[in-house]
Amino acid sequence: MDNKNDFVGYEYRDITVDREMESIYVDGYQNFGWVLYKTSAPQVGLNNITLKFKRDRKIRNKMELTRLQRQFDACVSEITGMEKSKATNASIIAYSVGLFGTAFMAGSVFAVVATPPLIILCVILAVPAFIGWTLPYFLYKSSYAKKAAKLTPLIDSKYDEIYEVCERANNIQVK
């Protein structure tokens, strides 16, 4: 009879991530000794997913792997923030211009319902109002494109950093 002890104690980690970053986490966490055993959609947000990982508690070089994993998480967090900032800045600009257009339209409406109606003022205020309602689309597109062009090299360098961290973790784990 073989008295070999085959017991493996696991540690578990659940993380909720954006669906767009799911593959990065699944691929990256393997290098830190984690094994994906389940995914589920959380109740918060439709664009998120919860990934459930496990790994051997007695994994070699656990402290170094944990340090590299924190570095990985920080890089992914920075990428996510940069991706969101592209749309955030563009949205602020578009909403602001749209709001000014709406204010001009309100002035135009008040001018036309005044007694007596101020038709000339109504037309004068309606022109910037319609411009303020049409322009946000184009402002959003151009602002998004400018921000994306500025951030794309930074995002790419963060992806390179992620790959280097994963490679170092994989080398530690393989030894």
pLDDT 10s digits, 120-159? 999 999 999 999 999 999 999 999 999 999 999 999 999 9
Q: How far apart are CA 24 and CA 7, in angstroms?
A: 30
Q: Which of 20, 39, 58 is the last residue of a domain?
A: 58
Are 50 and 85 part of one and the same domain? no
Look up the domain containing 6 and give its range: 1-58
Are 141 and 69 part of one and the same domain? yes
Nearest to 127 by CA among 95, 105, 155: 105
Are 25 and 110 part of one and the same domain? no
pTM of the model: 0.78
| Residue where the block lists tokens 């990985």 | 72
Q: What is the mean pLDDT of residues 61-88?
A: 92
Are 116 and 52 part of one and the same domain? no
Q: How far apart are CA 31 and CA 48, in angstroms?
A: 23
Of the ranges 38-42, 58-62, 83-87, the best mean pLDDT one: 83-87
Are 28 and 88 part of one and the same domain? no
Are 126 and 147 part of one and the same domain? yes
Q: How far apart are CA 80 and CA 144, in angstroms?
A: 15
- At residue 72, does pLDDT exceed 90? yes
Are 163 and 129 part of one and the same domain? yes
Are 150 and 166 part of one and the same domain? yes
Q: Is 175 inside any structural domain?
A: no
Q: Which of 42, 58, 74 is the last residue of a domain?
A: 58
**Tally of domains within the chain:** 2
Q: What is the mean pLDDT of residues 163-171?
A: 92
Q: How far apart are CA 159 and CA 165, in angstroms?
A: 10
Q: Is 105 inside any structural domain?
A: yes
